[in-house]
Amino acid sequence: MSFILVLGLFARFYKISNPVADWHSWRQADTASVTRTFFQKGFSFLYPRYHDISSIQTGYFNPEGYRFVELPLFNALHLFFYKIYPKFTLEVWGRLVSVFSALISAFFIFLIGRRFLGKRGGLLAAFFFCLIPYNIYFTRVILPEPLGQTFALISLWLFMRFIDKENSFWLYFSGLMLTLGLLIKPFLLFYVVPMGYLAIEKYGFNGISKNPKNLIRFLVFADIVLVPLLIWRSWIGEHPEGIPFFTWAFNGDRIRFKPSFWRWIFGERLGRLILGVWGLVPFSIGVLTKRKNYFTLSFMAGALVYVFTVATASVRHDYYQIFLIPPICLLLAEGILWIWYQKVFIKWLARSIAIFAVLLMLIVGWDQVKEYYKINHPEIIAAGQAVDQMVPKDALVIAPYNGDTAFLYQTKRWGWPAVDDSIENIIQKGASYYVSVDLGSPDTKYVTAKYRTLVKTDQYIIVNLTQKL
């Protein structure tokens, strides 16, 4: 197991010092910005803030930069490590928090796999979790999802301990870990599906609903899980300007169960991006093989419930499939074990195909994921560095980039990632500089015709909005 974790660690060191301008940089920039604000303006756990004060994400002007999405547990850890060892950049530490979370997750996947598939099954599941190229990338990003998943996996393992030992301590401890996961990502509630399966298998419906002791224990568990989440949601409801639009994620474009939905989720994402086509062989066998316990299938069923629930977000953003990886890894391990020990086909040939399928899965997956590490627009980094050198630290800037906050993040200034109002109205709200990498845009032409250009290169332009021509 130690060897697998070391492999997983070194695989995630690849381009770990990248600027926040690679794949899904907008979401990473938002997360990193909360930590940067904690560092620069003081730690305020209940008031997470970031650099985007526009109305783009919430529909309201957000002058305080409130960022009420997840409880900032990730950012608290991020800040803690950055303060104790500032020789690593803020961005590197953000990625390392996710890497450490992934390694802990891999260990608990091993424990869960060992419980249901034996030691070899646990090792195989951890191997896949550590080395599937898709998961390598998305567990070294500056996002809270890997940490949330870690809490959920710990919760699942603790729930299994409760089922095996029947000690309420494990149940309540499981609830505490799960609520931490939900405070980071409420979508992790799908973990209750495999938990529910284990509880029903152990006690039956009547053993839970008609046994006062069990009923009280599970009600207390539900309170531990849900009450903190409800309190947090009530708290952030006081600041709608800091809550990004989210209802679109469920089925905003009505894509759920349409042919394009099945194509994107099961063809492009599960089939190609995650399983690299050839991984479908052991995965399918893992689903179809005879078994005494249906835990792995219940885990996968819970993951599918999650995908079906947030249908639009799952199609639009591939990082939403992060939460599918643990059950996928367990089913892959189950499939490989069946192929390895089956007595139906020629043993050496079946094993050779299994090894070949795994190798091709990793190769094909890497061929697609390697593009995620690329910095496709280095000009936003150059422009950001120029702003940081020339513009006062407290200046508010307009950095239009189609609403993508990665460009604004590079400037290390607060402001607008898009022109969400007239330029004059934004200036009245405090904007004093305009920076753009689109030299021919209508907004750039308008601004340069009315205000003094501070610097212009073939990559970017910076305009002083306080000085009219």
What pLDDT shows up at residue 344? Answer: 87
CA distance 242 to 53: 9
CA atoms lying within 13 Å on the CB side of residue 302: 23
Extract the tokens encoding 196: 């529910």
What pLDDT shows up at residue 112? Answer: 97
Give residue 73's Cα distance to chain centre: 14
Show the CA angle centred on residue 418, arms to residues 463 and 91, nearest 5°: 90
Place of tokens 């095996």: 164
Contact 55, 61 (CB under 8 A): yes
Tell me the mean pLDDT in the region 150-171.
Answer: 96
Query: In the predicted model, is pLDDT for residue 430 greater than 90?
Result: yes
Query: In the predicted model, is pLDDT for residue 290 greater than 90?
Result: no
Q: DSSP per residue over 400-460, as a string?
A: -STT-HHHHHHHT-EEESS--S-HHHHHHTTEEEEEES-TTSHHHHHHHHHEEEEEE-SS-
What pLDDT shows up at residue 208? Answer: 86
Positive or negative, the CA dihedral 98, 99, 103, 109 is positive
pLDDT band at 196 (very low <50, low <70, confident <90, very high): very high
Tell me the mean pLDDT in the region 208-223.
Answer: 91
Query: In the predicted model, is pLDDT for residue 338 greater than 90?
Result: yes
pLDDT tens digits for 343-366?
A: 889 999 999 999 999 999 999 999
Query: In the predicted model, is pLDDT for residue 304 greater than 90?
Result: yes
Tell me the mean pLDDT in the region 323-330.
Answer: 97
Give me the chain's average pLDDT, please: 95
Q: Are strands 451-456 and 461-468 parallel, antiparallel or unpaired?
A: antiparallel
Tell me the mean pLDDT in the region 106-120.
Answer: 96
Tell me the mean pLDDT in the region 196-217.
Answer: 90
Contact 455, 433 (CB under 8 A): no
What pLDDT shows up at residue 206? Answer: 87
What pLDDT shows up at residue 284? Answer: 95
Question: Dihedrals φ, ψ of 436, to 5°?
Answer: -145, 150
CA distance 62 to 356: 53
Q: Are strands 431-436 and 396-398 parallel, antiparallel or unpaired?
A: parallel
Extract the tokens encoding 240: 């709608």
Tell me the mean pLDDT in the region 450-458.
Answer: 95
Query: In the predicted model, is pLDDT for residue 257 greater than 90?
Result: yes
What amino acid occupies position 177?
M
pLDDT band at 246 (very low <50, low <70, confident <90, very high): confident
In 189-247, alpha helices (H): 192-209, 212-236
Query: In the predicted model, is pLDDT for residue 207 greater than 90?
Result: no
Phi-psi region of 427 (alpha: psi -120 to 50; beta: other; left: phi over 0): alpha
Query: In the predicted model, is pLDDT for residue 6 greater than 90?
Result: yes
Tell me the mean pLDDT in the region 157-169.
Answer: 95
pLDDT tens digits for 79-111?
A: 999 999 999 999 999 999 999 999 999 999 999
What pLDDT shows up at residue 292? Answer: 82
pLDDT band at 40 (very low <50, low <70, confident <90, very high): very high
Contact 300, 288 (CB under 8 A): no
pLDDT band at 291 (very low <50, low <70, confident <90, very high): confident
CA distance 361 to 343: 24
In 85-144, alpha helices (H): 90-131, 133-138
Question: Dihedrals φ, ψ of 463, to 5°?
Answer: -120, 135
In 237-294, alpha helices (H): 248-251, 259-262, 280-288
CA distance 350 to 348: 6
Tell me the mean pLDDT in the region 238-263.
Answer: 92
Contact 320, 314 (CB under 8 A): yes
pLDDT band at 211 (very low <50, low <70, confident <90, very high): confident
Query: In the predicted model, is pLDDT for residue 416 greater than 90?
Result: yes
